[in-house]
Structure 1
Amino acid sequence: MRSVVRSRPGRLITAFALTVAVATPVVATSASAATTLTVAQALAAQDGRTATVTGYVIGQPTASSTVLTSGFTADTAIAIADSAAETSTGRMLYVQITSAYRTQFGLLTNPGLRGKAITATGVLTAYFSHGGLKSPTAMSLGGGTTPSPTPTPGPTGTVPGGDYDTTYYASAIGKTGTALRSSLHSIIRVHTKLSYDQAWEALKDTDQDPANANNVILLYSGRSQSKSSNGGGANDWNREHVWAKSHGDFGTSTGPGTDVHHLRPEDVTVNSTRGNKDFDLGGSAVAEAPGSYSDADSFEPRNAVKGDVARMIMYMAIRYEGTDGWPNLELNNSVNNGTAPYHGKMSVLLQWHQADPPDTFEKRRNQRIYERWQGNRNPFVDHPEWATSIWG
């Protein structure tokens, strides 16, 4: 009797198919690479690079969204994940098992491997039209995926990158100004691109109310609201583009229009009030969003999320630099940016960033996006001091 794991709608991670050269495999008892990636990182880096990945064996992939967890039919492929209990194929990496490794790592021959940790080195590229690792050059049992490190609070109460400094941010550490900006762009531009429909599911996860798993916290309103009340009706919540999608005219296109690092749940009416206004101080109180204010050309969010807003705007300016067919986004000091690819008001956003450092909710959100959805991080949540280094 075979068990099948199927991905939930909107949760399949799609990879680009690349042509790779098949190397002659050598059976190895240990994998070697400078840095071992998690499955989430490997899924976000499907660009033909060679990498070492550690994960837990879930089953045998037979199609882009189907993984057998029993009744295995071949020794040619395994699916691994960051959790041995994973059920979503969208969070699994499909690993090709070439002939040299089948007697040790094929599930037909070794069904007891299910749930075990393995480490594999190979080419990160599409397999079964899904995020994969092909042409392995080393495979070994063991390793396991260690929990993400908990950063140590700095002297001001902000949170530095912790152990990510030696892995994810390694190429940026020690740099300042233009060099830092360029390095951060190269790091965070590698990520899984979600569809606009997938953003609904992502926000239900990333913005979950810590006190009620059935609810999300609305950004400007601060209200805890049922996850299921998303939509377009009065008092529903919808997907707020913190970097207004008209600023650069990217709309809801896959990429900047669906990047969850700047999408947040918000009350439909409040979202409409904010519209595409830049951020600044002052205005009239916004109904249904206590502590928020708005006037003809700007919007001021409640104090508790002022820094969150600033860091989301900063992320977008670094992530989208005019490559990949997307606009070159940048901060400026205007509050009348319209469809230009700018967002303000920079001087106020920098003040908000300093006054409202990352809190537990924002840090958890950053980690969740990294581990489960996009595979990239907001560097200004991990290293708040980098904002001053780049923008002064």
Structure 2
Amino acid sequence: MNMKSVTRSRPGRLIAAFALAVTIVTPVVVATSASAATTLTVAQALATQDGRSATVTGYVIGQPTASTTVITSNYTADTAIAIADTATETSTSRMLYVQITTAWRTTFGLLSNPSLRGKQVTATGTLTAYFSHGGLKNPTAMSLGGTAPSPTSSPTPGPTSTSGPYDSTYYASAVGKSGTALRSSLHAIIKVQTTLSYDQVWEALKDTDQDPANANNVILLYTGRSQSKTSNGSGVDDWNREHVWAKSHGDFGTANGPGTDVHHLRPEDVSVNSLRGNKDFDAGGSAVSEAPGCYTDADSFEPRNAVKGDVARMIMYMAIRYEGDDAWPNLEMNDSVSNGTAPYLGRISMLLAWNKLDPPDAFEQRRNQRIYERWQGNRNPFVDHPEWATAIWG
């Protein structure tokens, strides 16, 4: 099917090409350091709490005393520090709690060294929970200073990569495959999940889509607006639960299963959600006044540039997760924008392009991790491996 023509002028709307190369960062090493493969930012370390050994660089914020409490003066012990990607960070959700064992306390304990606050440190250790919070334990090396990658750089390999942190565990049966074999393996992996109720989705979205700059808010998918978590509902300016794979495409509604799968449910402004309706995704149309950067016409919706890849990977997840071998329809992507209530959603050619041009960012990666750890126990493989989209659909 030929793609529809777009005759209107759209200056400034062409997507800028994203760099697909993954930056290799040399870790900071001291004489007593154990070997660590990469140097991570705090955000990256918080997203990979899987027991690996890693080197992390950050700024000392204070002393953690509880899962959500970090004191910044009147320190009580030399046993732990909280570090962040910026020296002015105030949200504990963006801090890594570092255990300070006996060997390092005289130099890195805040009770003994209160002037350490605000300084950059590099630590090598095990990425695992500490104080029931994202942490680094049993440090094998610590030093002042260090050069970390940008906090906005991707800890997950880009579209040309072939390795990732879950390859030897969660994705072990899929790694090295392509085409139908990869598709079948991924389906078997991700269909093992906890199913939420539609009411539970409200609470899940308040966690998964939390504004990194304001823990009281969520980020709305299409508008990009930061809005209070408590303003969810059906009012004109409230936010509600947007089914990115429109629930009428396969007629699965809001019943437990695809209708409540948080991997494709996102907070969105009520009126913008209604405007998108059950339209397929494609480029073209008129500007959406309440959602800058979005466009729509009679049969399709185009999201803003910053979430084009997010939308594509959510649709790809649904096409792999729901294969018709359980109580739910077999969902498939196609190249149409007139799918009606059939279990199809397009346009696949545009979604594949968006996946390449807008690789996963820190927000999308954190969201994937939260769903895996706290809500459903399964992952979106296309967030972890965007290149698998091409390996399956070409």
- Equivalent positions of 1:134-145 (< 5 A) are none
- Tell me what 2:282 maps to: 280
2:371 matches 1:369: yes
**Alpha-carbon distance between aligned partners in 2 of 1:378 and 1:167, rounded to the nearest angstrom:** 15
Q: 1:205 to 1:185 in 2, by over 3 A?
A: same
Q: In structure 1, what is the equivalent of residue 341 of structure 2?
A: 339
**What is the rounded CA distance, in whole Å, between the counterparts of 1:353 and 1:151 in structure 2?**
14
2:211 to 178, 186, 209: 209
**What code does the residue aligned with 2:303 have?**
P
Shift in alpha-carbon separation, 1:209–1:161, aligned structure 2, 3 A = farther
Secondary structure, aligned partner of 1:166: coil
State yes or no: 1:291 paired with 2:305.
no
- 1:290 counterpart letter in structure 2: P
Candidates 202, 211, 223, aligned match of 1:200: 202
Matched-pair contact (CA < 8 Å) for 2:322–2:329 = yes
Name the counterpart of 1:66.
none
Query: Alpha carbon RMSD of aligned pairs, Å?
Result: 2.4
1:163 shift after superposition: 2.6
Deviation at 1:252, TM superposition (A): 0.2
Q: Which amino acid aligns with 1:192?
A: T
Q: Which amino acid aligns with 1:215?
A: N
Look up the match of 2:260. 258
Q: Deviations over 1:201-252 (max 9, x none)?
A: 0000000000000000000000000000000001000000000000000000
1:55-74 maps to which residues of 2 (within 5 A)? Answer: none
The corresponding residue for 1:235 is: 237
Q: Distance in 2 between matches of 1:204 and 1:331?
A: 28
Distance in 2 (CA, whole Å) between partners of 1:182 and 1:370 is: 20
Shift of 1:287: 1.8
Which residue matches 1:186?
A: 188
TM superposition shift of 1:85? 6.7
Relative to the length of structure 1, the TM-score reads 0.61
TM-score by length of 2: 0.61
CA offset digits 1:111-137 (Å, max 9, x no partner): xxxxxxxxxxxxxxxxxxxxxxxxxxx
Q: State the secondary structure of the residue aligned to 1:179.
A: helix
Instruction: Describe the SS at the equivalent of 1:167.
Output: coil
Structure 2: distance between partners of 1:158 and 1:241: 29
Question: Are 1:158 and 1:358, in contact at CA under 8 Å, matched by a contact in 2?
Answer: no
How far did 1:144 drift?
11
Aligned-residue offset at 1:323: 1.8
Name the CA distance, whole Å, in 1 between partners of 2:355 and 2:340. 23
Structure 1 residue identity aligned to 2:373? E
What's the secondary structure of 2:189's corresponding residue? Answer: helix
**Secondary structure at the counterpart of residue 340 of structure 2:** coil
Letter of the structure 1 residue corresponding to residue 254 of structure 2: T
- SS in structure 2 at match of 1:361: helix
Q: For the residues of structure 2 that align with 1:240 and 1:153, how far apart are their CA atoms?
A: 26
Change (3 A) 1:148 1:246: farther
**Aligned amino acid, residue 218 of structure 1:** L
SS state at 2:187 partner? helix
1:170 paired residue among 169, 172, 176: 172
Contact 2:161 2:387 in 1 (8 A): no
1:67-82 matches, within 5 Å, as none
Cα deviation for residue 328 of structure 1 reads: 0.1
Q: Distance in 1 between matches of 2:329 and 2:223?
A: 30
In structure 1, what is the Cα distance between the partners aligned to 2:352 and 2:173? 25
In 1, the alpha carbon distance for the partners of 2:374 and 2:156 equals: 24
Q: Partner residue of 1:306?
A: 308
Deviation of 1:324 after TM superposition, in Å, equals 1.6
| Alignment gaps of 5+ in structure 1 | 1-53, 55-83, 87-142
Q: Secondary structure of the residue that 2:241 maps to in structure 1?
A: strand
Q: Is the 8 A contact 1:248 1:342 kept in 2?
A: yes
Over 3 Å counting, the alpha-carbon distance change for 1:356 and 1:144 in structure 2 is closer
Q: What is the rounded CA distance, in whole Å, between the counterparts of 1:145 and 1:226 in structure 2?
A: 30
Distance 1:187 1:161 in 2: 17
